Structure 1
Amino acid sequence: MSHPAIAAGNVAVITGGGAGIGLAAAERFAAAGMKVAIADLAGDRLAKAAARLAEVAPGGAGDVLAVATDVSREAEVEAFAAAVTAAFGGVDLLMNNAGIQPDTDVFGPAETWAKLLGVNLWGVIHGVRAFVPAMLERGRAGVVINTGSKQGITTPPGNPAYNVSKAGVKVFTEALAHQLRNAPGAKLTAHLLIPGFVFTELTRNGRSEKPTAAWTPEQTVDFLLERLAAGDFYILCPDNDVSRALDERRILWAAGDVVENRPALSRWDADYAAAFEAFVKGGA
């Protein structure tokens, strides 16, 4: 944990901190002696996560804050930020991680699209706008981590609203990183976490045991911290099935659809199946 923002006594804020990657990150930060504030929807999951963090944090429950928050609602995120400031003071690390993944279709219910975009994309935007200006004003080293997805880069068929939301997170975080590095005196950095296949509530699908191909949330957080220390912006996680080399070829092929003027999502077009396989093998 060599990033200067991750240090005992500093403050970490994680949305979607009630389970999965968010909770695994919160546990790691708490164990490092940071004061940890998590946001999630109201319910037993949030309460259990807070109790778990209190067991890990050297300062116990006094170093943990859990606030029921719907990140799609700007006012609730602003209230969460106010509660963090009142409890702990300034923030050193912000992880906008809350996400949902209901099934969607291009012509599916508008309310499902609105809910998904509200959490996955607007939740990130609300989090940055609620916390980052004050982080900048402090003039201290700090870090912002936004959780994206490979589906926001290669945009596979199957869940267009999710893909749109995560593509938006990528673009927004790129813009944030550019703005921060050009802000005079700014010591904040922004990073895009791009998980692989991780066994969480979003991917469980009724399974009680982790599939062999998946990483655990803890493995994902280990990789995140390693690449944060290295200064990576794009934290592209492998898993037990897909290597970084394969991810790179898939991403390059997706960009090639534009450059080569291929059909949209040609990777899943039968007429391009052989060409895609040859392209992947060519980079092995």
Structure 2
Amino acid sequence: MTQIALDPGSVAVITGGASGIGLAAARHWARAGLRVCIADRGGERLEAAAEALAALAPGGRDGVLAAAVDVSRAEEVEALEARVRERFGGTDVLMNNAGIQPGSDLPGTPEAWERVIGVNLWGVIHGSRCFMPGMVARGRPGRIINTGSKQGITTPPGDPAYNVSKAGVKAFTEALAHSLRNTPGCRITAHLLIPGFVFTGLTAKGRAEKPAAAWTPEQTVDFMLQRLAAGDFYILCPDNDVDRAMDERRILWAAGDIVENRPALSRWHPDYAEAFAAFMKAGKD
């Protein structure tokens, strides 16, 4: 697939675009001459992000749209798509990136679970469903990039609502990719961004300085763009602590729980601690 979807004059829409990975992506595309829409919760942070993007964009504020949107609400995402189409003529790149991680437990409250799944999973579903038909009809090459998580693949204990939401993003994006490539005449591809440890407002947890193990949002976006250019569907990002080889072994062990009929989440089961350690060590030999 050519890079026309990322060429100057194309249109990129990023949810969760007022900070973190979303804002880093918006900055890159604004500098590259794309017209950019960032959607996020309203307020001063969104406006400040829009002004910062306008300073980078060749067209200034004319090439930047900031929209206050709750992505968990289908009608608000539908209105966003219509607003972008009216302002810029359509969308070439959609990055469903909005996400929250307030923490969760079991059994937890229905409200907490509904909010996490509403933003993290339904936000991706609403974005893809609302934007995809227009993107396909536009007849141009384009991309839908959905932000997942390694926690949606290896599902570590401690935050089950987040894990469920991100596991859903993975399954949905795989189905989306299959659907798009089997749509006659479609020039849109889907991609699953799987960040490593990235220092953002979501992961800072009170820290003012980036931990040595973390990547910056800019590093993550640079890696994402490299892998998009290579045509990757699974954009599995390393960080300063975990390389791809380690991620691969952890993912293989998680899949092995089913194949080997081990207990759920055996990586964290005391009876399997030695076996897991040996498995990881074998990957280094």
Listed as ranges, the matches of 1:168-207 within 5 Å are: 168-207=168-207
In 2: Cα distance, 1:61 partner to 1:187 partner: 29
SS of residue in 2 equivalent to 1:238 = coil
In 1: Cα distance, 2:271 partner to 2:236 partner: 29
Q: TM-score, normalised by structure 1?
A: 0.99
In 1: Cα distance, 2:80 partner to 2:141 partner: 22
- Residue deviations 1:219-260 (CA, integer Å, cap 9, x gap): 000000000000000000000000000000000000000000
- 1:106 shift after superposition: 1.9
Q: TM-score, normalised by structure 2?
A: 0.98
In 1: Cα distance, 2:81 partner to 2:45 partner: 20
Aligned to 1:22: 22
In 2: Cα distance, 1:152 partner to 1:128 partner: 19
Listed as ranges, the matches of 1:48-67 within 5 Å are: 48-67=48-67
Aligned to 1:262: 262
Aligned to 2:230: 230
Aligned to 1:209: 209
Aligned to 1:163: 163
Q: Is the 8 A contact 1:227 1:235 kept in 2?
A: yes
Q: Is the 8 A contact 1:3 1:228 kept in 2?
A: no
**Structure 1 residue runs without a partner (length 5+):** none
Percent of paired sites with the same residue: 70
In 2: Cα distance, 1:8 partner to 1:69 partner: 26
Deviation beyond 2 Å, 4+ runs, structure 1? none
- Residue deviations 1:34-83 (CA, integer Å, cap 9, x gap): 00001000111101100000001000000000000000000111111111
Give 1:245's aligned amino acid: A
In 2: Cα distance, 1:213 partner to 1:37 partner: 31
- Two-structure CA RMSD over aligned residues (Å): 0.6
- 1:109 shift after superposition: 1.0
**Structure 2 residue runs without a partner (length 5+):** none
In 2: Cα distance, 1:192 partner to 1:4 partner: 20
- 1:139 shift after superposition: 1.3
Q: Does 1:137 find its partner at 2:137?
A: yes
Aligned to 2:120: 120
Q: Is the 8 A contact 1:11 1:91 kept in 2?
A: yes
Aligned to 1:33: 33
- Residue deviations 1:105-130 (CA, integer Å, cap 9, x gap): 12111100000000000000000011
In 1: Cα distance, 2:39 partner to 2:164 partner: 23
- 1:275 shift after superposition: 0.3
